[in-house]
Amino acid sequence: MTNSQQETDASPLEGPITGDKLLESFPRYRDPEDVTVLERPGREAETVSNEELLEPELAGPLEHDCYVHQVEALEALERGENVCVATSTSSGKTRIYALQIARNYLEARRRSAENERGDSTAYVLYPTKALSRDQERELNDFYDRLGLDITVRVYDGDTERGTERRQIREEADVIISNFAGVNTYLHDHDRWARFFSACDLVVIDESHTYTGVHGMHVAWILRRLRRVLEYYGSEPQFVMTSATIGNPGEHSEGLIDEPVTVVDEDGSPKGPRDIVLWNPPPRAREDGNAGSEDGGERADAVPDEGEASDAVEGVIERVPATVESPKLLSHLAYQNAQTLLFTPSRKLAELSVKRASQHRQDRRRHYTDPDRGSAIEPYHAGHSRQKRHGTEHQLKNGLLDGVASTNALELGINVGEMDATVQMGYPGQRQSFWQQIGRAGRGTDRALSVLVAEHRTLDQYVVSNPEFLLESDVEDAVADVGNDAVFAQHLLCAADELAIDERDAGSFADRERLERALEMWRRAGKLTGVLETGVSYRGPPRPQSTISLYATRGEEYEVRLAEGVDEKHDPEMEPLARERVYRDFHEGAVRLHEGRQYEVCEVVHDGPRPHVTVRPTDVDYYTVTQSDVTVLDATSEESRGIGDFTLHYGRGRVLVYHGTYDEVGVHGGKRRAQGVPTDNPPLSMDTQLCWLEVPREVERELVEKYRNFSVPDLDSELAETPHLGYAAGLHAAEHATIGVAPLELMLDKRDLGGLATLTIDSHLDRGAGEESAESADGTTQSAAPGDNEPKNLAAARATVRATAAELERTPSSGWFIYDGIEGGLGFSKAIYENYETVARRAREHIADCECGRVDGCPACVMDEQCGNDNQPLHRGAAIDVLDALLEAEDSEGLEVSGSEATAEPDEETSAQSEGRRPPLFYS
Amino acid sequence: MRTRDGPRVLVLSPSVLSSRSLTAFRDARAYFEPDFVLVHGPERAPQADARARHAFDVPVVHPPLMDAAEQVQRHSIRQGEPDRYSLLIARSADGLADAEPTLDRQLENTDSVAAVVCDDVTTTVRPTALETDLSYRSQLAAALPAGETMTIMSGGLAAGYDEVWRLEADTGAVLGVGTEGDDAITTPHPSTETAVGVRIVGIGPREGYGTAGSISAVTLGSADRPESGTADTTESGLADVTDVETLSADAFGLEAVSGIGPKTAIRLEKQGVTTRAELLETPIETLSSISGIGRQTALRMHQQARVLESGEPRRLSDEPLPGGTHPGSPLCLDIETDGLSPTIIWQIGVYDPNIDEYHAFVERSSPEDPGPVLERFCDWLFGVHPDRALLTWNGWRFDYRHLESFLNRYVPRYVDAWDGVAKLDLYGWAVGNENAVLPGRTNTLEDVSAALEYGGSDTGLDGAQTAAAYQRFIRTGTELEWDRHEAYCEDDCRALWHVYEQLRTAPKPAVDQTTAANDGTASTNESTTAGSQTGLGDF
């Protein structure tokens, strides 16, 4: 590559576009350091002759032989196993269950000839309605080709009520729906008797999407579905199809609560692929002079610049991916490469099409034939079904040169294969990354995928650690059923569907948990009866309607448009969980949704339909909530040592007070109005958490090492203590651990929170041991609930401080990570189990950051949600703590007993010599 | 309205008081004939209290506004017989301990106290801990007499809640919770002086009644509790709560008329129409000149108001009654199960109006096997009456639904024959298909038949009680009072026929109304037809 790229005509190059060709032809100077080309080799198809696998009736009409993974899956199904197929995009996963349905159908036909039950049905569940319609067509076409009379029908919220629904229930062989539908329809299961009695297969397509809150609801809906199917005498097999995730087996088994055979050896052919990691050029200091960008200025200037300016602006600025990616879309389309651009919002999908065309005009000398490759359209769920159909069709038939789409095209809608993909920013997860780029690749032709990095933590991590993408591990999906609040809601539904009895103990939930939940609901008057003879539901009709698939308390806030505002501004947002409303949707909040700004003008918490009212706005700031957090009464349920460190997992109460907010300028990030009250009450959550206790030895060393650290103007009487540097290290390590968790687990970091503290013990439930002894006789404590619960955050903090002052032993220091949703999501449990990996990532990430600042930058240890305004933070101390943890892991087993023995006698003296430790805690 | 003799306490919530019209309360007054009105707390609502005093001519008490000097007051419920029934009303839970004389002393002196009213008492459900607790239980344990069970009424809990909490007298620790007679609360022996039984009866707003809210009436009477396993034995003497009836608040006043929601009610009021009688006096032309009311709606309003005022049903179409074309009268069917998610249909009652005979198929010996009782029913039905149609009240939601599902499962050989039976539903015909307007504040068979003056035998049972009794039988083998439970089922079958007969002879629409009924152009946006109200009493 040269530095003197000329502005010449970019005639389409010979052959398929490659990474190198892209670099050569793109009209602009590019710093070689900003672009990495990764070459991935192709792979031949591995197939097995259909005659060996399938009966002649099916093998005959099939055009292609089956790939080995399809064969493997079909064989496992033949053996009666449940299967999860986790292979790449367009590797023919649908064909697996389509063929299995056909096999079941033929089998049933044979039975019917022998006068036995002559029916076989399948319930096929997709994550979106759009996908349902798409697949209905695909499956019907497939069976037409096979010449089989199998009826495939969609049955969801859009299906006309009355006759049509009844007809589908009574006649269809395959019913396609989604989990919100299954949840609702289970209430009237008797109407589905025919379909359920004959059900041989349940398909969960794109099963990796069921993670977090949504995943746990789906897991319970599946358990309810299985109970009902069992009632009708059906024990169907399950087929799950998943994108490549880290734990397909564990995740699938968590969803359906049965053993699952994983098929992940991909036998479909793949052409070679170039993956280009594209960091946009630094932004010129003065905007506007687009033609004269001079990258040379960038290279070494950055760290110095960082020293000079304040925290936020010290970080270099680059051209945003939102501006850069449409240019690539435009360019690739010009190069005859049919290209799909993935954008994070509908608005950006629309905007990108305009920007792509603008790019041509700006570079007219370069793109001499203005009409070539200019058929570019947007695509997103906001378009009518008809319009989307049109676009899909035109893509398939090559009538379009490019499409800018939201992730609506990420999931399996059939649009054929592209030559290239461009991603506007890292999609957040490797799983998603691979799924999207899988859209490019025609047969065995070379495919091109460009990731345009945004200037933010994960993106910059990815472009500077390209090997990260290629590691075989992808994120783990978490579908946890440990949340008792969610379990309890589904238990009500299950009882409404069929009386809960002995058979459910140990299968729906373990007996102890089941008994406790039944007793809770009996006492609350919602259930009646006992396990022996059956427990019935007796609350308000249709408990299924209180399940909200995106929240844990059955309490969702609808997002409404203010009165008098034109419908077209309706943000069409999913309902919000209470926790989100408190944090991000207080009155006065300015939120960006799909590229449009909204102001929250009213929040109604009470009443049967809590809601948030928004109106469109156009201001040059956004709002950030300032939060106070503390943890109370944490109880350890599991713990393990990592060297001398101790890691706990358990439950506790987290009090969060999103008390004020700041208005932050969109440009430059300057804070304007600060500390505006939200008028929110504090939020109390019983949730799952994990915490790490740093050994005394490590603590002592680090307190000493960083004892001179101070933060000017830190608003705290404790700012002058020798512990500050160490505490800042814990705080930074806590932020970083949470920040990198999405690299390992499929989660939204906003669902996690943390608290670094010097006095872990004062956050624990100190009475836990005694209480359990007392309640052994089966009685409950006599105090009324909530009697000694602190009513507000200040009181809670005072409690923690008072507890700290009363502690007899010197407490441990460390940090908590909690699930920011009532009842928990299983995330802290997953982090507990993968702590070393997460810690290693966090350590790398802090150490590698270019910011060079002691207190870090937003790309490493600063967190926008920090309740303490990102103070105090200490990168060095954080690295030291994490190093100690990771070394401890390596040397595990060595001298453990020895160090414990020596630690104890030292304790008294150390506590005395350091003085009483301050009960510092930072979220 | 349920046929109950005891004195009645009408319970109103502040929100219902502030949102409904005075005529609605007058209507409620006429319907319930309360002896006493309670405006429940725990929130202080002086305006609601004042409104209630204005609307009712019986004593009205709003506990939060009681005299602070007197933490607990005793109120006689029926004037004239002061010592028969009374309530002890507590201003707040904290006041329970400060009562002068003490609560157990007051209770010792009389058998007339049916319940203690304390709106602070409530349950707290903590799903994340899988726990439900009772607030102020240590105060209750301390204030109430040991070795006995006392009823507490609380506006802090939804009407429909009725559970007995057995507490340790000294600490208030929970020993067990259940309905009276349950093992769960009787195993630690109830008569010991160390335990306190607290029956908690909710009288607060009930879920499922939409924005209108609910109104409850509490009937007092002599205790009639099945004790420790020996179900259905009557032990009389002590005053207690015997029934809580809950209706939607919009079942009263103008809004009881289908097509009249809050907005229309206000428009009508502006025209001086505040009662159903005034509505009937207002000509259709005048009504349909009001914005939002079409001619057809006005006609409907008149029809419905007339039915409610007169108690006479009215047919809206020439559509024959279900089974009207079928040979012979339909067989009236009703089933009893062991719960809303049944594990057995243990009683199938069929009334044959042709010969005025009732048949009951009851499983009295082997409740673990749902098959035999179904088989006996089918043998009889298909053997004796292969051609007769069946008739139910809302059977597609319950009777037919469960029978079909159980037949599929336990007696599959009769499934084809069952498919061939004509299955009719009177509720669906009248309400669902809008072929008739029925009197009664809800569309339950009980309400409709009572409004049509069906005089059944008062068994004092309802579906939930009979289900619970059978559950107890399954679990403990304790026999039910079979006769009483069979009488209950028979009553429903006969009530169904009574309603059928009444509808058969009900007036059919005049010619002009038929034309109007086909003119589907005008209607209001507020569709509060009785059938679409979401109250629990309705289906």
What is the CATH number assigned to the segment(s) B331-505? 3.30.420.10
Each residue's pLDDT tens digit, B362-381: 999 999 899 999 999 999 99
Q: Tell me the pLDDT band of A99, cut-offs 50, 70 and 90.
A: very high
| Cβ contact, residue pair B123, A525, below 8 Å | yes
**A519 Cβ under 8 Å from any chain B Cβ:** yes
| Cβ contact, residue pair A686, B208, below 8 Å | no
Each residue's pLDDT tens digit, B408-467: 889 999 999 999 999 999 999 998 888 998 888 888 898 899 889 888 777 778 888 899
Residue B244: HSE in the Cβ half-sphere, 13 Å Cα cutoff: 26
- Inter-residue contact B329 to B323 (CB < 8 Å): yes
Give A-chain residues touching B211 at CB under 8 angstroms.
608
A residues 761..780 contacting B (CB < 8 A)? 779-780
Q: Which residue has the higher pLDDT, A664 or A188?
A: A188
> What's the mean pLDDT when you consider all of chain A?
82
Give B-chain residues touching A782 at CB under 8 angstroms.
137-138, 168, 171-173
DSSP code of residue B37: E
**A419 Cβ under 8 Å from any chain B Cβ:** no
Lookup result for tokens 């409907």: B300
Least confident of A188-192, A354-358, A911-915: A911-915
Model confidence at A822: pLDDT above 50: yes
**A488 Cβ under 8 Å from any chain B Cβ:** yes
State the first-to-last Cα distance of chain B, in angstroms, to the nearest integer: 17
Give A-chain residues touching B405 at CB under 8 angstroms.
190, 193
- Chosen for mutation from B174, B200, B341 (greatest number of chain A CBs closer than 10 Å) is B341
**Mean pLDDT of all residues in A611-626:** 85
The pLDDT assigned to B518 comes to 40
Distance CA A93, CA B149 (A): 64
Cα A289 to Cα A285, A293, A357, distances in angstroms: 9, 7, 19
DSSP code of residue B430: I
| Cβ contact, residue pair A779, B168, below 8 Å | yes
Options 1.10.150.20, 3.90.1150.10, 2.60.40.10, 3.40.190.10; CATH for B253-312+523-532 is 1.10.150.20
Q: Where in chain B is the domain with CATH 1.10.150.20?
A: 253-312+523-532
Residues paired with B239 in a beta bridge:
B222
Lookup result for tokens 């939120």: A591
**A495 Cβ under 8 Å from any chain B Cβ:** yes
| Cβ contact, residue pair B127, A553, below 8 Å | yes
Q: Tell me the pLDDT band of B510, cut-offs 50, 70 and 90.
A: low
Each residue's pLDDT tens digit, A60-97: 888 788 999 999 999 999 999 999 999 987 788 999 99
Cα nearest neighbour of B534 on chain A:
A541
Give B-chain residues touching A520 at CB under 8 angstroms.
125, 127, 130-132
Give B-chain residues touching A784 at CB under 8 angstroms.
133, 135-138
The pLDDT assigned to A7 comes to 47
Q: Where in chain B is the domain with CATH 3.30.420.10?
A: 331-505
The pLDDT assigned to A76 comes to 97
Give A-chain residues touching B342 at CB under 8 angstroms.
499, 534, 536
Helix (H, G, I), strand (E, B) or coil at A813: strand
Cα B124 to Cα A399, B173, B195, distances in angstroms: 62, 15, 22
Least confident of A580-594, B149-163, B464-478: A580-594
Query: Across the interface, which of B137, B160, B471 has its CB nearest the CB of A525?
Result: B160
| Cβ contact, residue pair A784, B133, below 8 Å | yes
Give B-chain residues touching A607 at CB under 8 angstroms.
none
| Cβ contact, residue pair B343, A496, below 8 Å | no
- Min Cα distance B176 → chain A (Å) is 9
Options 3.90.1200.10, 3.40.50.2300, 1.10.300.10, 3.40.50.300; CATH for A47-263 is 3.40.50.300
The domain locations on chain A are 47-263, 271-287+310-470, 484-546, 556-619, 626-769+790-922
If you count residue pairs, one on A and one on B, with CB atoms under 8 Å apart, how many are there?
143
Q: Tell me the pLDDT band of A666, cut-offs 50, 70 and 90.
A: low
Distance CA B502, CA B498 (A): 6
- Min Cα distance B302 → chain A (Å) is 31
- Chosen for mutation from A497, A512, A532, A533 (greatest number of chain B CBs closer than 10 Å) is A533
The pLDDT assigned to A879 comes to 95
Model confidence at B494: pLDDT above 80: yes
- Min Cα distance A525 → chain B (Å) is 6
Selection from A540-544, A779-783, A849-853, B343-347 with the highest mean pLDDT? B343-347
The pLDDT assigned to A771 comes to 38
Asked, colleague to colleague, whether A47-263 and A271-287+310-470 share their fold, the answer is: yes
Distance CA A776, CA A789 (A): 23
Each residue's pLDDT tens digit, A700-752: 999 999 988 888 777 665 667 888 899 999 999 999 999 888 878 877 777 88
Model confidence at B525: pLDDT above 70: no
Cα nearest neighbour of B340 on chain A:
A536
Model confidence at A291: pLDDT above 60: no
Distance CA A290, CA A323 (A): 12
Q: How much of chain A, in percent, has pLDDT values that exceed 90?
A: 39
Backbone φ and ψ of B248, nearest 5°: -65, 140
What interface predicted TM-score (ipTM) does this complex get? 0.86
Model confidence at A814: pLDDT above 50: yes
**Which CATH architecture describes the domain A271-287+310-470?**
3-Layer(aba) Sandwich (3.40)
- Chosen for mutation from A523, A635, A688 (greatest number of chain B CBs closer than 10 Å) is A523
Q: Given CA atoms A771, A774, A780, A784 in this order, what sign does their dihedral have?
A: negative
